[in-house]
């Protein structure tokens, strides 16, 4: 087993390599003056089972992932397992209006071409795995999120909306904490409304758990409402921390005491490791023992 890292996968690839006692192969990655990407494997991959790790945000990392798959294919790797910690485009998982693409499917149909299997972490909706023409698996960092929240002494876990309840429930179960959900209505791309559902949060340590934080609007609005209802502390934890347009500051200014994300993407609060979940998924898929 060998591991190869893309530009948005170096830290996770190192952690996966360490856990599997697998060498991370050296790779040259650079850009031509016009911005096009260049990759070159600097070690043999012939007859090796290779795990390629790269998130696909921004778009140039998607192209880089396709180039690395091609390089491994040409180098005659025995098998290629493409691990995408953060699968960008997963949120457009159906066509909402006439004329739209289903981005999660369109990108899956590119990523499946030169790989034997695909693994991603906590996808927004699991049904997107069905868009791949090769076996596709979801890894999860729910246990690691629960571990981070345990250190804060959280006793109530909330999902920001009903759709996110399954993930919050899994975290709550591991913590032995109560679980509930908020009522969220999205107004615009950055604004949401939280219905003031009475949740009995007074003097409690409350966590909001979501799959991803983008602008921070969801968490900031929820945290402000929970503090208004008397929560002693509010924590936010997610798998994918995009924090676009000052999203992290927005959350911290809302009254949220602490925020953490898994390290599927690089950001200032990427404190929760996703590699253990990836290794569990690789084991469950029979890729490694």
Chain residues binding ligand R5P by CB under 6 A are: 160, 164, 192, 210-218
Q: Which is nearer to ligand R5P, 134 or 255 (CB)?
A: 255
- Please state the closest distance from residue 112 (CB atom) to ligand R5P, in A: 25
Contacts with 165 (C-beta within 8 Å, 6 or more apart), sequence order: 159, 179, 181
Q: Which is nearer to ligand R5P, 160 or 273 (CB)?
A: 160
Alpha helices (H) in the chain, listed in sequence order: 10-20, 59-74, 103-111, 142-151, 165-175, 217-228, 247-253, 275-284
CA distance 269 to 249: 12
Least separation, in Å, of the C-beta of 140 and ligand R5P? 15
Whether the bond between 58 and the residue before it is cis, its omega within 30 degrees of 0, is yes
Closest-CA residue to 207 (of 227, 234, 232): 234
21 assigned to active site: no
Comparing CB distances to ligand R5P, the nearer of 112 and 211 is 211
Residue 37 is encoded by which pair of tokens? 């990407």
Residue 214 or 233 with smaller CB distance to ligand R5P: 214
Residue 225 CA to residue 240 CA, distance in Å, equals: 23
Rounded-to-10 torsion of CA 96, 98, 100, 104: 40
30: β partners: 38
Catalytic residue among 2, 114, 184, 205: 184
Looking at the Cβ atoms of 163 and 230, the one nearer to ligand R5P is: 163
In the complex, the smallest distance separating the C-beta of residue 212 from ligand R5P, rounded to whole angstroms, is 5
Residues linked to residue 137 through DSSP beta bridges, in sequence order: 119
Shortest spacing between CB 91 and ligand R5P, in angstroms: 7
d(CA 214, CA 192): 12
- In the complex, the smallest distance separating the C-beta of residue 16 from ligand R5P, rounded to whole angstroms, is 25
Which residues are catalytically annotated? Answer: 184
């Amino acid at each position: 087993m060998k591991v190869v890292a893309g530009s948005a996968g170096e830290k996770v690839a190192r952690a996966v390599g360490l856990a599997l006692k697998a060498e991370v192969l050296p790779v040259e990655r650079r850009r031509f003056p016009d911005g096009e990407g260049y990759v070159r494997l600097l070690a043999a991959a012939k007859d090796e089972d290779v795990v390629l790790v790269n998130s696909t945000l921004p778009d140039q990392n998607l192209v880089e992932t396709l180039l690395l798959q091609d390089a491994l294919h040409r180098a005659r790797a025995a098998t290629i397992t493409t691990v995408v910690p953060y699968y960008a485009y997963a949120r457009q998982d159906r066509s909402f209006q006439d004329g739209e693409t289903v981005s999660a499917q369109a990108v899956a149909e590119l990523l499946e071409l030169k790989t034997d299997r695909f693994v991603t972490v906590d996808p927004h909706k699991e049904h997107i795995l069905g868009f791949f023409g090769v076996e596709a698996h979801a890894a999860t960092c729910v246990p690691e999120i629960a571990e981070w929240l345990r250190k804060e002494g959280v006793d109530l876990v909330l999902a920001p909306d009903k759709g996110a309840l399954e993930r919050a429930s899994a975290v709550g179960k591991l913590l032995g904490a109560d679980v509930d959900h908020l009522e969220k209505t999205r107004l615009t791309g950055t604004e949401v409304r939280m219905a003031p559902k009475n949740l009995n949060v007074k003097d409690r340590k409350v966590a909001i758990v979501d799959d991803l934080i983008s602008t921070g609007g969801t968490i900031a609005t929820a945290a402000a409402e929970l503090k208004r209802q008397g929560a002693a502390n509010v924590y936010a934890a997610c798998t994918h921390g995009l924090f676009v347009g000052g999203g992290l500051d927005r959350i911290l200014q809302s009254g949220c005491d602490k925020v953490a994300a898994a390290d599927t993407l690089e950001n200032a609060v990427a404190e929760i490791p996703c590699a253990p979940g990836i290794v569990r998924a690789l084991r469950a898929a029979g890729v490694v023992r």
